[in-house]
């Protein structure tokens, strides 16, 4: 009986010891003797977990495996950059390979492998900030804004910022929220007061409270001024004037944006008309001299060394490609299956819900490219850059292939 009691007391002592030092034990794991298990430092990986003996770790191999933080996991194999993506920094024992995927892109590694794909960075929504910005080291890590901070926009780089504080001559109308800053108002705006002598109740204002504190006692000989005599009506006029100026500024901005949009549409129409005129001249040459000139070939063939031109710097619009060339691009892209065109849509900046809408149609690839071609700046250079990121050089070859401009009948 005494032996059992001694055993129970020993167990309780060990349990109390674990609870007492639990917060100080970084690994939160204990050996059979009750001692805290050690963690593997950055640059080393787990070989065997602790039990009777302490944790065993071994150094990672430079250029082969790495461990970027302290923990109880083995070394991870270094990643390999996708084809045509340059390497910014080689893999070390404490840091994975860094690939130049471009701005707002990061290397998404395969779950169980060393290969990866350049993917679009995640965005932190309103009320959340980037605890770790998106970079070649990995995707964005978002966190909810803590009290006293806020974030009101979507971003993959900006963290939560401190809330503003109302000054002494302002009153707080709404406290700071995770997705909006503090809302303040100047104290001496008498927007809730009514002129004396008017019908209806008079709402007290902050100015009245200040006047009550500073007003002289009755019989002192100094008359008390009314809010209207202190210029309250002038403050209202100033407030209304500022509001009218803001509304006028918004109207002018909307008018400018509409004018800019009309200018762009007119330029697109002129380019289309010029293209049709070139097509008519090609048909005329065919009927008169027996030589056929393809208008699209003439347009594509203006640079005499087009085959050597850098595809990423190609400023031609995709919408101006000949229809047969666009059909060939869609056919080659379709050979990669649904995953291929969905990767292209994500690389071009489409949200997942928009991609799913395209996927429910009869020809999602044609719908995707047609929708993207209507956007501003939809050049062949931008499309080639996106195709490079998803490793589709075969489609780039189709886009940049020279067109037969002259054929003898």
Give the residue carrying structure tokens 């489609």. Answer: 395
Query: Please, which residues bridge with residue 129 across strands?
Result: 143
Residue 262 located in a structural domain:
no
Which of 138, 159, 191 is a domain's end point? 191
The alpha carbon of residue 255 and the mean position of all alpha carbons in its chain are separated, in whole angstroms, by 29
Residue 342 located in a structural domain:
yes
Q: What is the pTM of this model?
A: 0.39
Longest dimension (CA), the chain: 119
pLDDT digits (tens, 9 = 90+) for 284-329: 444 444 433 343 433 443 433 344 345 556 788 888 889 998 999 9
Residue 143 located in a structural domain:
yes
Which of 191, 225, 240 is a domain's end point? 191
Residue 132 located in a structural domain:
yes
pLDDT of residue 106: 92
pLDDT of residue 105: 93
- Checking if the pLDDT of 204 tops 80, the result is no
φ, ψ at 141 (rounded to 5°):
-110, 115
| Residue 65 sits in the same domain as residue 131 | no
CATH code of the domain in which 363 resides: 1.10.533.10
Query: Please, which residues bridge with residue 48 across strands?
Result: 56
**By the 8 A CB rule, do 294 and 403 touch?**
yes
- Which range among 5-9, 152-156, 266-270 shows the weakest confidence by mean pLDDT? 5-9
pLDDT digits (tens, 9 = 90+) for 107-131: 988 877 888 889 999 999 999 999 9
Residue 258 located in a structural domain:
no
| Residue 327 sits in the same domain as residue 394 | yes
pLDDT digits (tens, 9 = 90+) for 207-243: 454 455 445 555 444 455 555 555 566 778 898 999 9
Residue 241 located in a structural domain:
no
Residue 155 located in a structural domain:
yes
pLDDT of residue 72: 86
CATH code of the domain in which 57 resides: 2.10.50.10
Which of 156, 191, 226 is a domain's end point? 191
Question: Which has more confidence, 288 or 188?
Answer: 188
Q: What angle do CA 254, 255, 257 make, to 5 degrees?
A: 65
- Checking if the pLDDT of 91 tops 60, the result is yes
- Checking if the pLDDT of 195 tops 80, the result is no
Q: Average per-residue pLDDT in the chain?
A: 78
| Residue 73 sits in the same domain as residue 139 | no
Give the residue carrying structure tokens 């944790």. Answer: 55
Q: Which two tokens stand for residue 358?
A: 């395209």
Domain count, the chain: 3
Mean pLDDT across the stretch 194-214? 49
Q: Which residues span the domain enclosing 365?
A: 305-408
Residue 4 located in a structural domain:
no
Q: Which two tokens stand for residue 374?
A: 């209507």
List, in order, residues 6 or more apart from 58 with CB less than 8 Å away.
44, 45, 47, 75
């Amino acid at each position: 009986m005494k032996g059992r009691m001694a055993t129970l007391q020993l167990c309780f002592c060990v349990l109390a010891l674990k609870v007492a030092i639990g917060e100080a034990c970084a690994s939160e794991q204990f050996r059979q003797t009750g001692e805290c298990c050690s963690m593997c430092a950055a640059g080393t990986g787990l070989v065997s977990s602790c039990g009777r003996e302490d944790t065993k770790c071994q150094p990672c191999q430079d250029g082969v495996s790495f461990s970027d933080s302290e923990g109880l996991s083995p070394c991870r194999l270094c990643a390999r950059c996708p084809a045509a993506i340059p390497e910014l920094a080689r893999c070390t024992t404490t840091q994975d390979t860094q690939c130049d995927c471009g701005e707002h892109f990061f290397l998404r590694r395969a779950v169980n492998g060393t290969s990866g794909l350049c993917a679009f960075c995640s965005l932190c929504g309103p009320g959340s900030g980037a605890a770790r910005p998106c970079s070649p080291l990995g995707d964005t890590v978002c966190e909810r804004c803590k009290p006293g901070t806020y974030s009101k926009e979507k971003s993959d780089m900006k963290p939560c910022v401190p809330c503003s504080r109302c000054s002494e001559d302002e009153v707080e109308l709404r406290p700071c929220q995770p997705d909006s800053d503090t809302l303040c108002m100047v104290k001496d705006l008498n927007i809730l007061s009514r002129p004396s002598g008017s019908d209806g109740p008079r709402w007290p204002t902050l100015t009245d409270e200040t006047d009550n504190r500073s007003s002289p006692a009755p019989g002192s000989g100094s008359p008390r001024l009314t809010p209207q005599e202190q210029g309250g009506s002038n403050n209202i006029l100033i407030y209304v004037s500022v509001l009218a100026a803001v509304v006028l500024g918004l109207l002018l901005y909307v008018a400018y944006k509409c004018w800019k949009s009309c200018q762009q549409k007119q330029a697109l129409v002129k380019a289309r008309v010029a293209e049709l005129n070139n097509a008519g001249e090609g048909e005329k040459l065919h009927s008169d001299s027996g030589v056929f000139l393809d208008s699209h070939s003439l347009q594509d063939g203006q640079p005499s060394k087009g085959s050597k031109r850098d595809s990423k710097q190609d400023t031609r619009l995709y919408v101006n490609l000949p229809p047969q060339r666009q059909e060939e691009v869609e056919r080659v892209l379709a050979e990669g299956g649904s995953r291929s065109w969905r990767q292209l849509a994500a690389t071009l900046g489409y949200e997942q819900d928009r991609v799913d809408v395209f996927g429910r149609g009869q020809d999602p690839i044609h719908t995707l490219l047609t929708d993207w071609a209507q956007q501003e700046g939809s050049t062949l250079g931008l499309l080639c850059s996106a195709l490079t990121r998803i490793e589709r050089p075969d489609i780039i070859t189709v886009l940049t292939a020279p067109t037969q401009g002259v054929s003898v009948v």
